[in-house]
Structure 1
Amino acid sequence: MPFDHNDHYHRLLLRQVPRDCGAALDVGCGTGRFARRLAGRGIDVHAVDPSADTIAEARSECEGMAVGQYLRFEHADVTELELPTGHYDFISCLASIHHMPFGTVATLRAALAPGGVLVILGCYPEKTPADWAWSLAAVPVNAVARLAVGVAERLRPAAARTALASGRARTAAPVKAPTRQPVVPLDEIRQEAAVLLPGSRIRRLLFWRYLLVFRRDG
């Protein structure tokens, strides 16, 4: 069981969800793990991804789950969708914004309802001494986290391990969302965000990620 950097930050992202959030958009939802967590709060979630395989996996994962009633998965490229204006209380992009022009955030901003929040868990390439310092600091922590996950897996009760192995045996190779290396430096992202998402906050996170939070004025 690998240590997933995006999953690690789910709780941080969920803390940004506005109170009384009714509708959310998850951009680049992959196999739907974060979308399911949003739906678990009773939020109507529109989850989109350009990969047909990952959307099929996401739908399969929701079969028989109570949260399925709150989820709508769509195989689509968000840059080609006509999103409803001022509709979503919460929009999330987990490691997906670097798969599209950063200017797409202007469309996402317009889709936010008054008081709505856009969060981006983004990736960036190492370009500056600060980037490399954070990267070097993350390496040992990442190793420890992976070791901890491995130990937890070994300590899992035998019955649970058997059931998990059985489930994996009945399934083909696990579906993973397509990946792409980021190319836009963090300094450039800050500059573009200042223009397209005025008032947004960006902070660097440990595992080769940054968090951007933008709230549309009510």
Structure 2
Amino acid sequence: MDIRRVEHPVVRRAAEGLHNFNSRHPWSHNDHFHGWILANLPAHRGTAIDIGCGQGELVAQLATRFAQVRGTDLDAGMRAEAVQRCAGLANVTIADTQLTELDGPVDLITMIAVLHHLDAEQALIDIKRLLNPGGRFMAVGLAAPASIRDTAWDLASAVTNPLIGLIKHPRPARGGPVPPPFPVRDPRLSFDELHAVVRDIMPGAEMRRRLAFRHTIAWTKPNLEA
């Protein structure tokens, strides 16, 4: 059950109240996980690629830790903002290169709220191809709620969302809700369905449910392929 789509009047009023509160204390659910990525970087840091780099904030942070960072995004507006943000960083390039067209090998590939826009199986195969042995894939994603456990995590996210917002943005923001600056798409695969795909292509990958209606995937490519 997707609690975000329940039409019961009481639930709808509660959801509207939470939405209004969250609008006054906004925070980025995606940027929240940058710290998790930066705390779990691979030992070798030659080249990193951020797929769907958006406005380039993660790219700029990775640039201080890798010899070369490549950001890709299909949205021209996002690329322009990323280029502006990373101006002066000589080791950064921003392009619209498709995942299937990228060349490697590289030491890190990151995705934040991107995998559900793609064919997950083919994307993971391409990522596996691009990574160096010992290279790491780190993703923050969304999944469609399909089980009681999924719904429980959604409820926990809904309850904690305003608390986190109050901590991160204690002073109420002026104006109404601000729409996301990037393309939005509902995920098709559930957590369990995606987990099965990840497990098949990237054995040993760690996939965990998180608050903020997100999950994370972390996988290090083995040094010796079977």
5+ residue gaps, structure 1: 155-172
Distance 1:176 1:76 in 2: 20
Distance 1:23 1:42 in 2: 6
Question: How far apart are residue 174 of structure 1 and its match?
Answer: 9.4
SS of alignment partner, residue 199 of structure 1: coil
| CA deviations over 1:185-206 (Å, ceiling 9, x no partner) | 0111111111111121111111
Deviates more, 1:5-14 or 1:34-43: 34-43
**RMSD across aligned C-alpha pairs, in angstroms?**
2.1
How many residues in Structure 1 have an aligned counterpart in Structure 2? 195
Distance 1:113 1:176 in 2: 33
1:166 is matched with which residue? none
Question: How far apart are residue 153 of structure 1 and its match?
Answer: 7.3
Question: How far apart are residue 76 of structure 1 and its match?
Answer: 3.0
2:204 is matched with which residue? 199
Q: Give the partner amino acid of 1:41.
A: R
**Cα distance change of structure 1 residues 192 and 69 upon mapping to structure 2, 3 Å threshold:** same
Question: How far apart are residue 99 of structure 1 and its match?
Answer: 0.7
TM-score normalized with structure 1 length: 0.83
Contact 2:60–2:85 at 8 Å: present in 1 too?
A: no
1:58 is matched with which residue? 82
Q: Which runs of 4+ in 1 moved over 4 A?
A: none
TM-score normalized with structure 2 length: 0.80
1:69 is matched with which residue? 90
Question: How far apart are residue 84 of structure 1 and its match?
Answer: 2.2
Question: How far apart are residue 152 of structure 1 and its match?
Answer: 5.2
Alignment of 1:1-218 (within 5 A): 2-63=26-87, 65=88, 68-79=89-100, 81=101, 83-85=102-104, 87-103=105-121, 104-151=123-170, 176-218=181-223
5+ residue gaps, structure 2: 1-24
Distance 2:170 2:160 in 1: 15
Contact 1:10–1:34 at 8 Å: present in 2 too?
A: yes
1:167 is matched with which residue? none
Question: How far apart are residue 110 of structure 1 and its match?
Answer: 0.7
Percent identical pairs in the alignment equals: 29
Question: How far apart are residue 125 of structure 1 and its match?
Answer: 1.3
Contact 1:44–1:70 at 8 Å: present in 2 too?
A: yes
Q: Give the partner amino acid of 2:215.
A: Y
**Cα distance change of structure 1 residues 204 and 174 upon mapping to structure 2, 3 Å threshold:** closer
**Cα distance change of structure 1 residues 17 and 192 upon mapping to structure 2, 3 Å threshold:** same
